[in-house]
Amino acid sequence: MQKATIQPLKDLEMFLAADETVDVDQLIPLPFPYEDWHDEPIPGLSNDQASRIESGPDGVCAAQIPVPPSDEARERLVAKFLEGLKKLLTRENNWTFLQPLLLSMDNCVKCQTCAEACPIFTGSGRMEIYRPTFRAEMLRKIVDRYIKPGGHVFPTLRGNDIELSWDTLVKLAELSYRCTLCRRCAQACPVGIDNGLITREIRKLFSQELGIAMPELHEKGTVKQLTVGSSTGLNPAGLMDVMEFAEEDILEKTGINIKIPFDVEGAEYLVMHNAGEFLSWPENLQAFAIILTLAGISWTLSSELVGYDSVNYGLFYDDVQYARVALKHYEVAKKLGVKKIMVGECGHAHKAIMPVADRLIPDELRVRSESCLVVLEDLVLNEKILLDPSRNDFPVTLHDPCNITRSMGIIQPQRNILRKIAPRFREMEPHGVNNYCCGGGSGFAVCQSLNFPSWKAKVSGRLKFRQLLEAFSDSIEPETKKYVCAPCSNCKGQMRDLLSYYQAWERTGMLYGGLVELVVNAMVDVREGFIDWDFH
């Protein structure tokens, strides 16, 4: 045990000022066959980039904040931040999360019980700036010092001794993008403090007051979705092309002629996919089409703006954008007159469309919504589709998307399906409601800019990759093809990057994909070999 030596509360600022980069030798070690694995350091920004864009205390850049042109501009931004902070604590501006925020800000006893639960803190080799309480404590000090009455009285004694500057704020903003909002820390907290929520509120303050947010979430995310139709940039005309291709592909792969239904009024289900599937993993939407059609379910997709993309990145950083997208989703469903919304394999879309929107959507727009996982469970367990599990005779493990499990409590349906269709299914540890985030949560999966991809492969996804190796330790040799089932589009994005970075196909024969692909792979009515092992 190390001894504390100096004024403790000053140390947080010291960690910020230290500009300590990730020491790759301190990352948690990986098991066989990765004992010899060597990580290169996370690259810094180039001089040109650094002259234009701010970076975090670890030299990593996610929010891509432009360097202000002058000291006056910096001072204006600091003043604006404080204005925003006041708004964050008012009911008019933050009715959406005021109660949970106040509870978490007021009552943390800083026992650090949450730290061990955090995959980024532990995966990084316990870098202090990644500790769940670190950024929360920074915000708390700023509130206590600059917002609460008497904040300047005995600041050292009370622990409010923080001096606010643009540099401090930049680091706070960047650190809010070093947490995947997986809420594992909140689950471990004896008091119920939610550091994930505080992180989201920091992002929100920067976005809603200063217009600062990770571009992949805002300009290229919600703004594009609301104006073009999808955060992928796919417009309705492009969507039709993609679907036409998907129909041809289904016919070629399975021998089944399927017409993907669009804008069918009064259908039982409006199926909402993450549009990332259409471009990156078309086999997922194809599998859905095959299952739902062969099971005789009345379903439709929407071709209307936003209606064909279940993504709602507002959930990760901005209440205004969240509300706009959520409202649009329900407007589309209501207009079509469908009986229910079925959310496809996308974790955050589950949470955005189901529980969180529950207290936002006006009565006149309300439509019932449910998870695709429970619908699939019904089809599989009640034998509404014919299955031959022997077609899936390879090792399979399940990655649990945090938003579906920890934030919604949907745990068993996906397991019941896998037990039925995958004879060599095994759990990773921990799993279910106690799972580890893939490391791509809260928008990280879609951020491919600057040095952030290197960080998320080495740091935020490290623990998940170790879990995968451990889950397959009995058959880790590359000759045995194995399947990581990740029923979430963003998780798959992170899996793609993780498996690629760690050369997992070459070293272990590990492939990732969704749940429906496994179901179709086992369907008797479909030609064998739906899962394409050459796709890696």
Residues 146-185 that bind other proteins (CB under 8 A): 156-159, 183
Does residue 216 touch other proteins according to CB under 8 A? no
Does residue 442 touch other proteins according to CB under 8 A? no
Instruction: Give 256 or 433: the residue with its C-beta nearer to other proteins.
Output: 433
Q: Is the four-CA dihedral 426, 428, 430, 434 of positive or negative sign?
A: negative
Q: Any idea what DSSP says for residue 340? A: E
Distance CA 531, CA 399 (A): 18
Instruction: Give 192 or 255: the residue with its C-beta nearer to other proteins.
Output: 192
Least distance to other proteins, CB of residue 83, Å = 8
Applying CB under 8 A, which part among 21-29, 104-112, 172-180, 510-518 lies near other proteins?
Answer: 104-112
525: nearest Cα among 252, 288, 295: 295
207, 460, 494, 508: which one binds other proteins (CB under 8 A): 207
288: nearest Cα among 232, 344, 356, 355: 344
Instruction: Give 269 or 502: the residue with its C-beta nearer to other proteins.
Output: 269
Distance CA 81, CA 172 (A): 11
Least distance to other proteins, CB of residue 64, Å = 9
Instruction: Give 81 or 394: the residue with its C-beta nearer to other proteins.
Output: 81
Q: Any idea what DSSP says for residue 130? A: G
17, 18, 79, 102: which one binds other proteins (CB under 8 A): 102
Does residue 489 touch other proteins according to CB under 8 A? no
SS3 state at 271: strand
Distance CA 39, CA 367 (A): 49
Pairing of strands 299-300, 269-272: parallel
Residues in region 58-77 near other proteins by CB under 8 A: 65-66, 68-69, 73, 77
Distance CA 410, CA 393 (A): 26
Least distance to other proteins, CB of residue 138, Å = 11
Least distance to other proteins, CB of residue 50, Å = 16
Q: Which two tokens stand for residue 169?
A: 């704020």
Instruction: Give 191 or 256: the residue with its C-beta nearer to other proteins.
Output: 191
User: How many CB atoms neighbour CB 302 within 10 A?
Assistant: 23
Does residue 309 touch other proteins according to CB under 8 A? no
Does residue 3 touch other proteins according to CB under 8 A? yes
Does residue 92 touch other proteins according to CB under 8 A? yes
Does residue 468 touch other proteins according to CB under 8 A? no
Q: What is the DSSP string of 233-261?
A: ---HHHHHHHHHHHHHHHHHHHS---PPP
Does residue 274 touch other proteins according to CB under 8 A? no
Q: Is the four-CA dihedral 254, 255, 261, 266 of positive or negative sign?
A: negative
Q: What is the DSSP string of 400-452?
A: PPHHHHTTT---HHHHHHHHHH-TTEE--SS-GGGPPP-S-GGGGGG--STTH
Instruction: Give 117 or 250: the residue with its C-beta nearer to other proteins.
Output: 117
Does residue 529 touch other proteins according to CB under 8 A? no
21, 434, 449, 480: which one binds other proteins (CB under 8 A): 434
- The Cα-based distances of 85 to 82, 161, 176, 453, 531 in angstroms read 5, 18, 15, 30, 50
Instruction: Give 314 or 509: the residue with its C-beta nearer to other proteins.
Output: 314
Does residue 296 touch other proteins according to CB under 8 A? no
Q: Which two tokens stand for residue 91?
A: 């009911």
Instruction: Give 63 or 242: the residue with its C-beta nearer to other proteins.
Output: 63
Instruction: Give 219 or 248: the residue with its C-beta nearer to other proteins.
Output: 219
Instruction: Give 139 or 375: the residue with its C-beta nearer to other proteins.
Output: 375
CB 306 within 8 A of CB 222: no
Residues in region 18-37 near other proteins by CB under 8 A: none
425 DSSP β-pair partners:
396
Residues in region 345-404 near other proteins by CB under 8 A: 354-356, 358-360, 362-363, 366, 368, 370-371, 374-375, 377-378
Does residue 227 touch other proteins according to CB under 8 A? yes
CB 120 within 8 A of CB 179: yes
Residues in region 504-523 near other proteins by CB under 8 A: none
User: How many CB atoms neighbour CB 370 within 10 A?
Assistant: 16
Instruction: Give 196 or 440: the residue with its C-beta nearer to other proteins.
Output: 196
Distance CA 315, CA 353 (A): 10
Residues in region 106-145 near other proteins by CB under 8 A: 106-113, 115-117, 128, 131, 133, 137
